[in-house]
Structure 1
Amino acid sequence: MELRIYLVLLIIGVNGSRDLCPKECDCDIENGLNRATCVNQHIVNVDVGVPTAVQVYSLSNNAISELDNYCFKEIGYTSIQILNLSYNLIFWIGLHAFAGLHHLIHLDLHNNRLRHISSETFWDTPELEVLDLSSNVFESLRNEPFLMHTKLEVLNLQNCRIKALPERMFNRLPNLKKLDLSHNYMVTLNTEVLQPLPKLERVELKNEYWKCDPPFIAAESWIVSHGIMYEKICKNRTPKMFEKIISAVTPEKEEIDVNNVWNITKDKNDSVVPISKPTTPLTPFQKFDKEFSSFKALILGMEIGLGLGIVGTYIWLRSLCKCGHCTRPKSRRERRRERRADAEVRNSLLWTTVIHPDLETPPVFRRQPSLPDENPPYPTYGLPSVVEAGLQIDAICLPDRAETPPPAYSECRMLYGS
């Protein structure tokens, strides 16, 4: 029993709260319609507690980012006729986000972050007549119907960064009467884009990027011939900003006495004879500078650089290649390795001399081999007066001297030998 009473009170409380205007909004009547204005309140959802009988609902300048499917129908907002969602952060709209808004006539979505919307997004609003999508970001459009609606009369696509209009963009808007495409990035317009709009009465194409090329001129002619209100662009095109500045500062010319400007002399017969100024001959450098173009200078510089490169390469190869064989220059590591090996050999020889002073000079370091004659100097055959230079001591073979140095004597060998 207590649970039933609690549920009844809860239902009454919920219904009672829907009859009160929330503190974030201002509720009044405009042109006989119930209006709720919830502006600049950092609202992130369309449900802020406004009574369901609202007919003019303004949620501009808030932080709404998404419109989920059936977001209005689930709350019970089925009487809305004018909906303002401008200056929000909306970047995604569900396919059935506006389901239940069967009486919606005017929808304002300008200054949001929309980049793409489905062509069937507004199919659940059969009475929609005015749609404002200006100041969004529809940079790239596919060649398919942008929207599908049978009753839409006014479409605002101003300042949407549109670069080109596909031919099938307005194929499913048979009742469209006013179209605004001003301040976009388009440069030309084809007639095929506007032909599927049989009830078009006014079109706005204000833009600084239009090119008066044949397709655009043909589109203007088609618009004028069908009685559509339009401000022609290519007929009396106003000059651009820099052209206006130049035309504004053009000074007025005054009459000038040619006698003060030209070099003219009069002879005795009063006939005017112009004086020709003496022409000074050009120096060779001036002639070269006058006749030699920059392109020729570029080609000449390239040829000189190529020639120097070839000569330098040839000299470098000659330094590497000797006797038909090209050797790679030794790297720093290889040179360091050779120096280390030489140092090790020198150290080994020095230590051997210090440890074994009785060893003879190694064969590798002998200057000459031993000779059989032990009595130098000796006479030269055939030349009695010429005496051969004496040999050095270490090149003389002695009877008790071995060619190969004996092994080093160690203490162990001396003990066993004795």
Structure 2
Amino acid sequence: METPLSGIPDDIPADLTKIRIEKSQLSELPKAAFSRAKFLKHLWLNFNDIAIINIKSLEGLVNLTELRLQGNKLRSVPWTAFEETPNLKILDLKHNRIDALPEHALKFLPGLTYLDLSSNQLSVISKDVFLNWPLYHAENRHEQPAASNVVLALNDNPWLCDCRLGGFIEFIKSLSPPFILMNSYLTCSAPEFKAGKFFHEVDLKTCVKPVVSAPDTNITVPLGGNITLTCFATARPEPAVR
């Protein structure tokens, strides 16, 4: 029986174009982990224990077109690491534990044709994550014809369908080719009264930030006396005061 790898080998042949390390004990990708493989195009690291990616782990991989990290333990990704991979087209991050996407996440991924973030822990993200994507800008400005469809997989995340997700939901509703959702029926997980509803059934355009006010703000009470203070909270949807 082969012993599972616990680290990246130091003697990777320089002429490899594909590396596949799966079901091993890899827990992190260190700096310049595959830099010897200058011609590497396909890197499959599925079903390991990877929880940490060094910001320079992809150093030297200018020819990389496919990176698959399905089924690891990633809670976050150093998105600026993709500055080293300008030709990346396929990025598979499904079945991890990613719970946030910064607004610059896709800045260095201008050539993607497939992005899979399904089955993570995303609950709220800003529409600016995608509006800041150079590929989205280029297509909407008609700067260049799309070479192929761009597939996005965002399903099976615990989406929190409150006002914070409103912009993202409207963005999803507006998507059209060449941008295609692998599963267009994204589903709300919370709040409870929206759980199970599809994005296209949710209207968050009329959200109004809560405002709390009190009718009386200057009250004098005798020492030892009791008083009941009343306040009002207004918002849309109606806020729950606890």
Normalising by structure 1, we get a TM-score of 0.38
- Matched-pair contact (CA < 8 Å) for 1:89–1:112: yes
The residue aligned with 1:54 is 16
User: Quick check: 1:204 aligned with 2:163?
Assistant: no
Greater fraction of residues in strand: 2
The structure number with the bigger radius of gyration is: 1
Matched ranges for 1:94-173 at <5 A: 94-142=54-102, 144-148=103-107, 149-173=109-133
Q: How far did residue 162 of structure 1 move?
A: 1.1
- Matched-pair contact (CA < 8 Å) for 2:97–2:121: yes
Q: How far did residue 199 of structure 1 move?
A: 4.0
- Matched-pair contact (CA < 8 Å) for 1:131–1:154: yes
The residue aligned with 1:180 is 153
Aligned length: 175
Deviations 1:311-355 (A, max 9, x none): xxxxxxxxxxxxxxxxxxxxxxxxxxxxxxxxxxxxxxxxxxxxx
Choose from 28, 36, 43 the match for 1:66: 28
The separation in 2 between residues aligned to 1:121 and 1:163, in whole angstroms, is 24
Q: Which has the higher contact order (CA 8 A, sep 6+)?
A: 2
**Cα RMSD after superposing both structures:** 2.7
SS in 1 for 2:129: coil
Letter paired with 1:64: L
Change (3 A) 1:207 1:191: closer
Greater fraction of residues in helix: 1
- Matched-pair contact (CA < 8 Å) for 2:63–2:85: yes
- Consecutive unaligned residues of structure 2, counting only runs of 5 or more, are 137-149, 162-167, 189-195, 206-242
- Matched-pair contact (CA < 8 Å) for 2:70–2:95: yes
The separation in 1 between residues aligned to 2:160 and 2:184, in whole angstroms, is 11
Q: How far did residue 215 of structure 1 move?
A: 3.9
Change (3 A) 1:184 1:162: same
SS in 1 for 2:155: coil
The residue aligned with 1:213 is 202
- Consecutive unaligned residues of structure 1, counting only runs of 5 or more, are 1-22, 25-40, 217-418
Deviations 1:139-173 (A, max 9, x none): 2444x222321111210011002112212122343
Q: How far did residue 69 of structure 1 move?
A: 1.4
Letter paired with 2:71: N
Deviations 1:241-295 (A, max 9, x none): xxxxxxxxxxxxxxxxxxxxxxxxxxxxxxxxxxxxxxxxxxxxxxxxxxxxxxx
- Matched-pair contact (CA < 8 Å) for 2:5–2:26: yes
Change (3 A) 1:46 1:168: same
Q: How far did residue 49 of structure 1 move?
A: 3.6
Percent identity, aligned pairs only, is 23
- Matched-pair contact (CA < 8 Å) for 2:100–2:122: yes
Choose from 33, 39, 46 the match for 1:86: 46
- Matched-pair contact (CA < 8 Å) for 2:154–2:181: no
Deviations 1:123-149 (A, max 9, x none): 10111000000011122444x222321
- Matched-pair contact (CA < 8 Å) for 1:42–1:63: yes
Change (3 A) 1:98 1:140: closer
Q: Deviation above 3 Å: which 4+ runs of structure 1? A: 192-199, 205-210
Deviations 1:73-126 (A, max 9, x none): 1xx111111110111111111111111111111110011111111221211011
- Matched-pair contact (CA < 8 Å) for 2:14–2:37: yes
Q: How far did residue 56 of structure 1 move?
A: 1.2
Deviations 1:163-220 (A, max 9, x none): 122121223433361100111111545224676998413442445535322249xxxx
Change (3 A) 1:97 1:195: farther
- Matched-pair contact (CA < 8 Å) for 1:168–1:193: no
Deviations 1:282-309 (A, max 9, x none): xxxxxxxxxxxxxxxxxxxxxxxxxxxx
